[in-house]
Amino acid sequence: MNKLVHTLRLAGVAAIAAAGVHAASAQALKLAHITPPTHVWHQVSEKIAADLDAATGGKMKVAVSPLQKLGNEAQVVNLMQAGAVQFSVFTVGGLANREESLLGWSLPYVFKDVAHAARAAQAPAAREMLKRLETSGLVGLGYTFAGMRHVLSLQPVTAAKDLANKKVRAFPSPVYNDWWLANGAAPTAMPLSEVAPSLTTKLLDAVDIDLDALVGLKFYQQAPNLTLTNHMAFPGVIAVSKKWWDARTDAERETIRKVVADAEKWGVQVAVDAEASNLKKAQADGAKVVAFDAASFQAVAAPVRDKYVGRNALIADFYKQVKDL
């Protein structure tokens, strides 16, 4: 009898230990991104986490970490290659040094609005870009979108000439650099955390930004003038660690793909709606919309586009497939 009790106790301990391991593994999944919690990418990330939890009965729980809390994008790529971080939303620019064709998303004046860019995400060339990320230890599952890119400045920008020799905080990407240089500005790479003080001290004159980030970070408190140039789209790539993905079952992969596809579709509508609501929020909070000469910016777009279309075949295919969607 005592032996039976002892055996049952051991079995109970083993069951508890197994449950503990299961709970720990369920809590271990991480999703990293660089945007503030108000941003649409964070909302998409939270939806992925909630839907994956529900779809797997709690077996896959994802903790979302915004604002580079797990590291900058290069560091997160390294963590994902090791399997230490399982999910991320990356800027296309941040991944372009690993897959050059992603620069095609940043060609100036290709997309009319967020909805146009979202349609482009289904183009064969856009899906090929995701597939090519596997050589970098990532599995690209989809795209998510922020608002279009605009200019926020200390002084009103009414035409491209107003940016001559002005320092513009721009995303660190070859396309962004070429774009702002073509407009006579000086593109300046800088972490978002340093933008507000740099505007206050006038180390920066302007910021290239989407309305999601603008409302979340309130840079119009330092630079009130908003010029709605609408010059680029700003997609993110939803990716998972290939090391972690390869260890999943076919059924688990299918579940993850469905959850991400649903979040991708949901996020598009959120981004479209946010473009209008964020503008109202920014204006109500002090941003001043500036009337400007759009043609002065559009005039320099073609040479920048031609440079990248001419040097990468997949970018050329992407441009042909999406420009008239």
Q: Give me the pLDDT at residue 9, please.
A: 47
pLDDT tens readout for residues 68-121: 999 999 999 999 999 999 999 999 999 999 999 999 999 999 999 999 999 999
Q: Give me the pLDDT at residue 183, please.
A: 96
Tokens, residue 69: 């809390």
- Is residue 4's pLDDT more than 70? no
Q: Give me the pLDDT at residue 192, please.
A: 86
Q: How many CB atoms lie under 10 A from the CB of residue 7?
A: 10
Classify 165 as helix, strand or coil.
Answer: coil
Share of the chain above pLDDT 70, in %: 92
- Residue 250 · residue 167 · CB < 8 Å: no
Strand partners, 237: 90, 143
pLDDT tens readout for residues 150-183: 999 999 999 999 999 999 999 999 999 999 999 9
**Summary mean pLDDT of the chain:** 92
What are the phi and psi torsion angles at 145 (to 5°)? -125, 145
- Residue 23 · residue 55 · CB < 8 Å: no
What radius of gyration do the chain's Cα atoms show? 22
Burial 72-95 (b: 16+ CB within 10 A, else e): ebeebbebbeeeebbbbbbbbbbb
What are the phi and psi torsion angles at 85 (to 5°)? -120, 135
pLDDT tens readout for residues 261-313: 999 999 999 999 999 899 999 999 999 999 999 999 999 999 999 999 999 99
Q: What is the DSSP letter of 189?
A: -
The three-point CA angle 40-44-47 to 5° equals 140
Beta strand 87-91 pairing with 29-32: parallel
> How far separated are the first and last CA of the chain, in Å rounded?
76
Beta strand 206-210 pairing with 186-188: unpaired
Q: Give me the pLDDT at residue 212, please.
A: 87
Nearest to 212 by CA among 193, 195, 233: 233
- Is residue 24's pLDDT more than 80? no
Average pLDDT estimate for 26-36? 85
What are the phi and psi torsion angles at 17 (to 5°)? -60, -45
User: Could you give the CA distance from residue 294 to residue 228 in angstroms, rounded to a whole number?
Assistant: 9
